[in-house]
Chains A and B, each alone.
Chain A
Amino acid sequence: MDNKEALLKYTLRLGDNALVLAQRLVELVAHGPELEEEMANANFALDYLGQARLFYMYAGELEGKGRKEDDFAFMRGEREFSSFLLVEQPNGHFGDTIARSVLFSEFYLLQLEALRACADARLAEIAARAEKEIRYHVRHDAQWLVRLGDGTDESHSKAQASIDSLWRFTGELFAGDEVDAVIRDEFGGPDLDVLLARWRGRIAAVLDEATLSMPDDCWMDKGGRTGRHTEHFGPLIAEMQYMQRSYPGLAW
């Protein structure tokens, strides 16, 4: 795989993760448990959406076939999306949403921190901008997990169940492939083994403060990278894409 192809795939993966999580958070708009949390959630959804646009715009330029961000977001099929299985998991209850956010955003922040120093100037710029937004998400999400875990007996057991049920989707975050290897070796991007060690350290610290326990090593689900998604993904992109599918090229 040549460098340019790897860079294109890597950029699309970043865009796909951001877009799919944005779509999940958008589903919660007008369903927040509190007015203030409602605003926070909508802000976060827009942060992810903005990042997805930047990644897709760059991917379109790298590809050089005239595709724009909307083409990547709305005109690709399920199997063409390379987002992690973790981000497509349903919102569930508030604790599920927070657990998913903690597991992903702690990883994503480490990934962006590493990319800030990578050799591709454009990717480094986008990462630097996104990192500031995600740093706040991590703060918000981790604080909430601590409140829920260290809250009542009921919130504690629910939060533990959320972490336990999502744990099997975290292995994929660090199961690198050829693309990750090129980004690491040729562009000075993230080393996933290093990221895994740091991520485990940070997750362990948050879980400890939340009086939750870290799940044991278990079988890990994977497939997002190659477009093999869970059953939740089809309905998600169907809702996301139906307008452009029904009226191609429709604009505001």
Chain B
Amino acid sequence: MSKDWPLYEVFIRAKSGLSHRHAGSVHAADDEMALNHARDVYTRRNEGVSIWVVRSSDIVASDPGDADAFFEPARDKIYRHPTFYDIPDGVENI
């Protein structure tokens, strides 16, 4: 049966204020079922407060063959990192 059901990617928000993170994927016959499956498979242990699901085929991904053109130019530009700032104590999630 699963060969007929499309794949959905699952994104979970662990708690308010954080962003959704990719948790994994589920098979489902429709959007509602995908949401249910994501809830049943990925939030059983209180992992989340919000779920996004999206058809895997609807995700536009970069091509590994383009990696040089896409990512290489950023590798030697350390001045783009905010590493020259002091982060005050008590600031979380940065």
Contact = CB atoms under 8 A, between A and B. Distances in A.
Contacts, number: 33
Given A34-B5, A34-B27, A40 B37 contact: yes
B1 A34 contact: yes
Secondary structure class of chain B's binding surface, majority of residues = mixed
A35 B25 CA distance: 12
B26 interface: yes
A43 B44 contact: yes
Contacts of A143: 32-33, 36
Nearest to A151: B29
A153 interface: no
Interface in B10-33: 26-30, 32-33
B58 interface: no
Contact of B29 (A40, A43, A147): A147
A39 interface: yes
Contacts of B30: 147
Given A36-B27, A36-B41, A39-B40, 12 more contacts: A34-B1, A34-B2, A34-B5, A35-B2, A36-B28, A37-B37, A39-B41, A40-B36, A40-B40, A43-B44, A143-B33, A143-B36
Interface of A: 33-37, 39-40, 43, 136, 139-140, 143, 147
